[in-house]
Structure 1
Amino acid sequence: MTTFVLLPGAGSAPWYWHRVTPLLHERGHETVTPALPYADDTAGLREYADTVVGAMAGLDAPVLVAHSMSAFTAPLVCRRVPVAHLVLLAPMIPAPGETPGEWWDNTGQARAQRELAVRQGRDPDAAFDVTELFLHDVDPALARQALDLGEREQSATPFAEPWPLDAWPAVPTRVLLGTDDRIFPADFLRRLTRDRLGLTPEEIPGGHTAMLSHPHTLVETLLTPTPAS
């Protein structure tokens, strides 16, 4: 039996994991889904890590799964408490001293997103649309729930905070990318994972929120260790 600690991405909530948790429970595993204080302007990356560490009290080396911006928080947790594995899903992989606000320009994310839109025949200059970018492969009824129930206000505070670690923590790390991710395109995340972690990401179907669109595939991937692990 393994305990999976599932972290939501920026501005989202534990609800985003609600299709994954029962599948892990059916397989005999346990889950913890902390609600990070994203709406709190007094909370930054360290406070996010404090919340996760508190939620992990008493756990024996769980698997920590971090979605999107939680890749800035999860390594801080790994420096403080034992973690068996770290899994990054569609992650913003940080560099030492980099703020989440700087990450976008530093990595070339905007160019990658635009080039993918052009290749797919979508308007690269269209106004920002959460459904189009984040929920395009999610069942429409579930996407409406995500918009109505799962979205939270995101404070700007952590986006100005430099990532405080000088190196990646010494914990086995896996990176999962969605092959149809429109905001972090697959070729972009392949390059970023190689350049920043020296790893080859594992690829699963789906967009940025694969926990909603492909929960079964995601669970099977989480439960299948890589040869290196």
Structure 2
Amino acid sequence: MRATFVLVPGAGGRAWYWHRLVPELVGRGHEAVPVDLPAGDDAAGLEHYTQAVLDAVPGRRAGPLVVVAQSMGGLTAPLVCRRLPVELLVLLNAMVPRPGETGADWWTATGQAEARAVAAARQGWPLDDDDAFFGDVPPEVTAAAMTQPFAQSGTPFGEPWPLTGWPDVPTRVLAARDDRFFPVEFQRRVAAERLGLPVEELPGGHLVALSRPAALAEVLDGLVRGRSGQHDGAAVPPLEVP
């Protein structure tokens, strides 16, 4: 089954983040649409981020529409699901907001810093942001990433999340088991508390689309073809095309 994957990046908002994943998805017969977000624009809030995704989605699509949200992209992707006929929302090492909660408050409300520190102490990881993001990314890809412009306005973090509840769209939560920024145990807890959903683990760290693009593509392909991992004893069924 072919699908159109709309790829929403995290902080920094660069479509470049997905450049290693796109050919992997295309090679599996899918369409892949990486999105640039207005991350450096202090006038741009969540509505602008949502509109940027909407503007990127092609009018004619191959098969079901799947929105994949990386990290901070979890603030935007559910808003897109209220505006487009999305068949599947995939949260990838993503923030899971609550109604009325700001992105800035999310960190304390979820206990992210404490969870990161506990995981780092247990695993012997340094509490260093470069390591947390690029620890498992190939050196040449890390070097290329450092040449990319990076800016992230605080504007979308200051806005209360506008939905009154999670969109009525099938949602899957993917967590990289070696994520040093959002440790997998932390992601399991947040997904259970906020969505009542389990987590499907895959290899890699926080920037898994850069470090393990083939493994990620295989999981995403499996989600639409019914080959995903076991959740509560039952395999997730393949998407049905109307």
Provide the TM-score with structure 1 as the length reference. Answer: 0.94
- Please say if residues 113 and 183 of structure 1, whose CA atoms lie closer than 8 Å, have aligned partners that are also in contact: yes
**Which amino acid in the other structure matches residue 150 of structure 2?**
R
Q: Work out the CA distance in 2 between the residues paired with 1:16 and 1:86.
A: 19
Q: Work out the CA distance in 2 between the residues paired with 1:59 and 1:95.
A: 32
**Which amino acid in the other structure matches residue 174 of structure 1?**
R
Matched, 1:109 2:112: yes
| 2:150 aligned to which of 149, 152, 161 | 152
Partner of 2:85: 82
Alignment of 1:1-229 (within 5 A): 1-60=2-61, 61-124=64-127, 129-149=128-148, 151-225=149-223, 226=228, 227-229=235-237
Q: CA RMSD in A?
A: 1.3
Task: Give 1:59 shift.
Answer: 4.1
- Please say if residues 68 and 90 of structure 1, whose CA atoms lie closer than 8 Å, have aligned partners that are also in contact: yes
* Identity fraction in percent: 51
Q: Work out the CA distance in 1 between the residues paired with 2:137 and 2:107.
A: 25
- Please say if residues 131 and 143 of structure 1, whose CA atoms lie closer than 8 Å, have aligned partners that are also in contact: no
- Please say if residues 91 and 171 of structure 2, whose CA atoms lie closer than 8 Å, have aligned partners that are also in contact: yes
**Which amino acid in the other structure matches residue 4 of structure 2?**
T
- Please say if residues 13 and 38 of structure 2, whose CA atoms lie closer than 8 Å, have aligned partners that are also in contact: no
Task: Give 1:29 shift.
Answer: 1.1
Q: Which structure's relative contact order is higher, taking Cα pairs within 8 Å and 6+ residues apart? A: 1
Q: Work out the CA distance in 2 between the residues paired with 1:189 and 1:152.
A: 25
Q: Work out the CA distance in 2 between the residues paired with 1:114 and 1:179.
A: 16
**1:24 counterpart SS class:** helix
Q: Work out the CA distance in 2 between the residues paired with 1:26 and 1:121.
A: 37
**Which amino acid in the other structure matches residue 48 of structure 1?**
Y
Number of equivalent positions:
224
Query: Which sections of structure 1, spanning at least 5 residues, go unmatched?
Result: none
Query: Which sections of structure 2, spanning at least 5 residues, go unmatched?
Result: 229-234, 238-242
Q: Work out the CA distance in 2 between the residues paired with 1:9 and 1:121.
A: 26
**Which amino acid in the other structure matches residue 141 of structure 1?**
E
Task: Give 1:123 shift.
Answer: 4.6
Q: Deviations over 1:129-187 (max 9, x none)?
A: 432110100111111111222x5210010110000001100001011001010110010
Task: Give 1:12 shift.
Answer: 4.0
Q: Deviations over 1:87-113 (max 9, x none)?
A: 010010001101110000000000001
**2:6 counterpart SS class:** strand
